[in-house]
Copies of this chain bind each other. A is one copy, B any other.
Amino acid sequence: MEYKNPLGVDIDLETGVIPGAKKLVRRLSDLKGYFVDEKAYEELLKENPVVYEVYAIEQEEKDGDLNFATTVLYPGKVGREFFFTKGHYHSKADRAEIYYGIKGRGGMLLQTPEGKAEWIEMGPGTVVYVPPYWAHRTVNTGDEPFIFLAIYPADAGHDYGSIAEKGFSKLVVEENGEVRVVDSPKWKE
């Protein structure tokens, strides 16, 4: 029988970089329509900052195999909304996921298909269990890069469509210097 080779890699704990990983960069222009404040979005688009980078080591899409990736989510806001990742359901919706906070501060917004939302704060050492069926988006609520590790089934896949269309039912915003989770005006049942 042919076996795959084990792999050991050292994450750069300052930058989140995984040597040899596939790198994906998401700039503000890749997040058109995701933020509520369109005027603030257009204004910031002149700079078009990098919102996040992903370093992923992925296997063939086979049941029982596992992928892992770090995300470096930069600090910033569009209007009152903190920078976030697009967020997605899994294409195989019953696939779970585990996140581990490495550096910086933020949190995860989770949501069922019916729009029931939960917010979990994350810092170094926080493990988040994303149960089957929940969409998930991470948010940087701090002032340094928020770096975390995600482990997900190799056959989970990403379903970005419904989040791109309807968003999450909640927004994570700054209000008087505080982090608040509020109802999204864009959310429609």
Interface, chain A (partner B; CB < 8 A): 1, 3-13, 18, 57, 59, 62-66, 68, 92, 94-98, 100, 102, 108, 110, 112, 116, 118, 120-134, 149, 151, 153-154, 156
Contacts and interface: CB of A to CB of B under 8 A. Distances in A.
A125 B63 contact: no
Copies of this chain present: 2
A108 to B, nearest CB: 8
Contacts of A96: 59, 64-66, 154
A35 B125 CA distance: 33
Contacts of A126: 8-11
A12 to B, nearest CB: 7
A109 B37 CA distance: 52
A128 B64 contact: no
A102 B116 CA distance: 33
